[in-house]
Amino acid sequence: MTTVLHPYRIYKDRMGRAPLISLLDFNDSFTFNIATYLGLLGYSFQVVPFSRIKAFLKSPFLLSNAHVLVYGPGPGHPDEYSNLFPIIKKLLRCNTLFHLGICLGHQIIGRVLGDEVVRSKNPMHAQAVSLKVPPWENCFPREAWGRSIQVQRYNSLAIRGFKAKSDINEALDQSGEVLIRKFERGVSYQFHPESIGTSFPSLFFEPLNYFLYNFKYEKSDSVGWNL
């Protein structure tokens, strides 16, 4: 039986644990799709509405244990959310947090790291492009390294690569725009991993598993939610 997920609620796993993952909703319709996919991972999670994001990011809850922050997609330029930048900058230094950015979330993290977000040379809406899975340890499984897969893009803005820092890795498209970025305690995507146009969506949520596994968390034996 499939559970219908409802935004802005806590979805506990069968072990009844507090949320291990928080999805930040920047008022985007894709948030529901991402939430549905997080439910399939087998961890407890919650969706944080836009009106509560700033207060949530300041809460002591985030520093109490290992936790994953998923920065969802949304409308507008990332600088429209610049009031969150100082808080996110501090959280990026916290070794008990893992950060995953999707589309707008990818750009917000990029701006916090000092990147310029520019108009994409190839604006796309619901268009699939080919991507080779980068050979990054503790991010993607070895058997996927180098494989060409399809990812679905919805963006008119982009981050230009390459970031000249030894602790940052990037996978670029043909025009030099960042499709995937791996940084200390985080990864971000300029595409929608949960989209029907992305082949092997679960692959792009593997970094969450690596992080939580290192903190000795285990998934529930089966997918199901106590609402």
Written as tens digits, the pLDDT of the chain (227 aa) is 333 444 456 766 666 667 789 999 999 988 988 988 888 888 889 999 999 999 999 988 888 788 999 999 999 999 999 999 999 999 999 989 999 999 999 999 999 998 888 888 787 788 888 889 999 988 999 999 999 999 988 887 888 766 556 567 877 777 778 889 999 899 999 999 998 889 888 899 999 988 988 876 654 443 332 32
Question: What does the pLDDT read at residue 64?
Answer: 77
**CA distances in angstroms from 110 to 30, 68, 224, listed in the order given:** 20, 18, 35
Question: What does the pLDDT read at residue 179?
Answer: 86
Which amino acid belongs to residue 170? E
d(CA 154, CA 96): 31
Instruction: Please answer whether residues 28 and 75 qualify as being in contact, where contact means their C-beta atoms are separated by less than 8 angstroms.
Output: yes
Instruction: Please answer whether residues 23 and 53 qualify as being in contact, where contact means their C-beta atoms are separated by less than 8 angstroms.
Output: no
Query: Would you list the domain boundaries of the chain?
Result: 10-214
d(CA 89, CA 93): 7
Q: Which residues pair with 119 in a beta bridge?
A: 157
d(CA 127, CA 46): 29
Other Cβ atoms less than 10 A from the Cβ of 227: the count is 10
Instruction: Please answer whether residues 188 and 102 qualify as being in contact, where contact means their C-beta atoms are separated by less than 8 angstroms.
Output: yes
pTM, entire model = 0.87
d(CA 172, CA 176): 5
d(CA 36, CA 58): 26
Helix, coil or strand: residue 153: strand
d(CA 96, CA 64): 8
d(CA 132, CA 149): 6
Question: What does the pLDDT read at residue 161?
Answer: 67
d(CA 20, CA 68): 6
Other Cβ atoms less than 10 A from the Cβ of 55: the count is 9
Asked: is 10-214 a CATH 2.60.40.10 domain? The reply is no
Question: What does the pLDDT read at residue 79?
Answer: 96
Instruction: Please answer whether residues 34 and 69 qualify as being in contact, where contact means their C-beta atoms are separated by less than 8 angstroms.
Output: no
d(CA 71, CA 26): 8
